[in-house]
Structure 1
Amino acid sequence: MSTAPQRVGRRERNKQEKLDRITAAARELFAEHGVDEVTTQQVAERADIGTGTLFLYAKTKGDLLLLAQNSSYADALERGRAAAEAAADTLEAVMAVVRPVVECNRKQVDNGRTYLREMVFGDPEEPNRRAALELAFQTEEAIAAALARDPRIESGTAPVLAHVVSAVMFLSMAAAVNIDRSVEEVLQEIGDQVRTLLPR
């Protein structure tokens, strides 16, 4: 049996290249104008594809936002995991995971809040929503890993605490009362709540 890597066919390369163009176009346009001000036609034009082709990759504008934000979220989560490894204490490690996720979500506040709404209330079987939910689950795992390094926290307790921290983070990012707050203010709110969960 051969273990040589299989080459990706031209058709798959073309599909991936179109997906990359669509994702980049959506990210750029949503960042420039906000999700509410961008049409699917504008994304298709920026990606240099037909609207029909666009709908093969994302059926709605909400789906396009998920596609674009998932890419940014995945990058943010990787930065958070790496920063948590170098953190000196438990709170710092947890907030190292949380910070880049919050920063990513708050680059364009309306986009971030719409992304969370699409993630929570959309069809979980739709691929881009499923990917978003998987990223949320991976965020909880990263937070649980940071908590589990603390010898005062039992291994079975870390995932439960991580679930609570994750809920606090997502509520703080989505809450209407926080729309005008800065990233640092939102992080301070989250940090204050996380601090109360940790052993003293």
Structure 2
Amino acid sequence: MNSHPDPPGRRERAKQDKRVRIMEAGRALFAEHGVGGVTTQQIADRADVAIGTLYLYASTKAELLILVQNQKFATAIDDGLTAAYIAARAGAPTIGAVLGLVEPVVACIREQPENGRTYLHELVSGDPSEPHRREGLALSARLEDGLAAILTDDPDIGPSDAYSLARVVTSIIHVTTIATVHLHETPAEILDQIRQQVTAVLPPPPHGITATNTSFRLRKRNQ
């Protein structure tokens, strides 16, 4: 008996090819012009598909932006979890591991500020049952879980407060990256703002994270 799954049929391959072309076209145009400077027709033309076909994959420009940004957001979280794991292995204090996780996320959001701000706004204000938003919200929850894993192993925090603090840190990231007052700041300046705010809500030294335990938790969550 053949245990290997059947290869996708011609129709499925064509559908996947169109999805890839649409995502690549959206990614390129959003990067070049920002979400406000791009129309869905331009994306359809760049992808060489009919506008009706594009709407089968994303019914609005906002949904298309979310589709594109989700992929980048997922990569940033993966990179952040790896950096946090390395920091924990090196015995970094809690704030060091937190910033290791946060830095790639900030870089992703601020790569094209208009796109990043619109993406986060659409995630929290749009229909959470819409598939692309649901995926984006799941990524946000994964980021929050990663933060909680770091905070849980701080002996001055512990599991009872870790998830509440992780939500506070997530809120700090969200507000600081999209606030108009920080619009013209560099990712490094944004990260420093986040560092100051997170440091203010964390228990003070001398204690840091337990490197071995946190490394294990982060490794398990990243698999």
Return the TM-score normalized by structure 2.
0.85
Residue of structure 1 equivalent to 2:96: 92
- Please say which structure displays the higher CA radius of gyration: 2
* Structure number with higher relative contact order (C-alpha < 8 Å, ≥ 6 residues apart): 2
Distance across 2 between alignment mates of 1:31 and 1:135: 21
Residue of structure 2 equivalent to 1:49: 49
Distance across 2 between alignment mates of 1:93 and 1:188: 14
Alpha-carbon RMSD across the aligned residues, in angstroms, is: 1.5
1:121 Cα offset (Å): 1.0
Structure 2 residue runs without a partner (length 5+): 205-223
User: For residue 176 of structure 2, what is the amino acid of its counterpart?
Assistant: S
Distance 1:2 1:149, change over 3 A: farther
Residue of structure 2 equivalent to 1:153: 157
Residue of structure 2 equivalent to 1:58: 58
Contact 2:30–2:38 at 8 Å: present in 1 too? yes
Matched, 1:74 2:78: no
Distance across 1 between alignment mates of 2:14 and 2:153: 44
Is the partner of 2:159 in helix, strand or coil?
A: coil
> What are the within-5 Å matches in structure 2 for residues 152-171 of structure 1?
152-171=156-175
User: For residue 12 of structure 2, what is the amino acid of its counterpart?
Assistant: E
Question: Percent of counterpart pairs with the same letter?
Answer: 49
Aligned with residue 139 of structure 2, among 112, 135, 143: 135
Return the TM-score normalized by structure 1.
0.94
Distance across 1 between alignment mates of 2:104 and 2:52: 35
| Aligned residue pair count | 200
User: For residue 157 of structure 2, what is the amino acid of its counterpart?
Assistant: I
1:3 Cα offset (Å): 4.8
Distance across 2 between alignment mates of 1:172 and 1:163: 14
Residue by residue over 1:38-82, the C-alpha shift from the partner in whole angstroms, topping out at 9 and shown as x without a partner, is 111111111121111000001111111111111111111100000
Matched, 1:197 2:178: no
Structure 1 residue runs without a partner (length 5+): none
